[in-house]
């Protein structure tokens, strides 16, 4: 089904007879210590108190982008994780679809009436990044983008596409034991601990507050009991 084709310095991937140009390996934004930056844009939406967050709007999300030279091109694109096609999409403007859509989740899109697909795909990409998976993006320029998109979804049965039977049957990625199950405001702390390679770390309160981007309550610095209790959101993180 797949075949690599070398033409000069260009690497292409042939899928069902279509030669998709290699765009690039996607890389998420990271902090100074190399950890993936976590974005929770819901809090910035001005009408957050009047609108409900949709089921994919809690994230967490990451940020990424591709080269601007791909803007203005019409066609079909593929997201691949570890070389396996996970999602097929079509776009009138490929570069903008990625950079202003999937790659950066706007606060409005987290709420009902927003772009659910952007949130859903970004979150899946974030989870793949967190599990140290390689993510690539391929593009095929064509004016028949909708026809080709439908054809490839039917043939590949991509699990991230709603149209795919495999996706409709999907429950949870139970075979991936490292997927995050916590999505609260203490997620950056969980990320920090999860990405640490040490058996034990002793961050200061100031360090923890810098990781979280907000101040800890006074009781966190005064009572050991604040850090215990399985049902508390911060102890889950």
| Cα-based distances in Å from 159 to 22, 153, 164 | 21, 9, 6
- Phi first, then psi: give them for residue 223, nearest 5 degrees: -125, 130
Q: What is the pLDDT averaged over residues 73-85? A: 96
Give the pLDDT band (50/70/90) at residue 197. low
Pairing verdict, β 10-15 and 2-7: antiparallel
Position 215 scores a pLDDT of 84
Residue 195: pLDDT above 70?
Answer: no
Q: What number of other Cβ atoms are within 10 A of residue 197's Cβ?
A: 5
Mean pLDDT, rounded, for 188-215:
78
- Domain spans, the chain: 2-169, 187-236
What are the tens digits of pLDDT across the range 112-132? Answer: 888 999 999 999 999 999 999
Give the CA distances from residue 76 to residues 151, 161, 230, in Å, rounded to whole numbers and listed in that order: 11, 14, 46
Quick one: pLDDT at residue 136? 95
- The DSSP letter of residue 24 is E
pLDDT at 14 over 50: yes
């Amino acid at each position: 089904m797949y075949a690599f084709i070398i033409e000069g310095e260009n690497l292409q991937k042939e899928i069902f007879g279509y030669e998709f140009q290699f765009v690039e390996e996607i890389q998420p934004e990271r902090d100074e210590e190399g950890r993936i930056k976590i974005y929770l844009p819901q809090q910035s939406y001005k009408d957050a108190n009047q609108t409900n967050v949709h089921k994919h709007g809690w994230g967490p999300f990451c940020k990424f982008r591709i080269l601007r030279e791909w803007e203005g091109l019409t066609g079909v694109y593929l997201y691949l994780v570890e070389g396996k096609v996970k999602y097929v999409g079509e776009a009138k403007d490929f570069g903008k679809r990625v950079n202003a859509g999937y790659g950066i989740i706007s606060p409005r899109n987290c709420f009902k009436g927003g772009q659910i697909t952007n949130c859903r795909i970004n979150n899946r990409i974030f989870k793949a990044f967190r599990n140290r998976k390689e993510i690539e993006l391929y593009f095929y320029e064509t004016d028949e983008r909708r026809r080709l998109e439908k054809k490839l979804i039917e043939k590949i049965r991509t699990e991230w596409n709603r149209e795919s039977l495999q996706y409709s049957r999907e429950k949870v990625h139970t075979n991936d034991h490292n997927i995050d199950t916590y999505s609260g405001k203490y997620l950056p702390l969980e990320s920090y601990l999860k990405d640490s390679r040490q058996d034990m770390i002793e961050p200061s309160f100031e360090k923890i507050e810098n990781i979280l981007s907000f101040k800890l309550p006074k009781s966190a610095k005064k009572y050991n009991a604040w850090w215990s209790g399985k049902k508390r959101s911060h102890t889950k993180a």
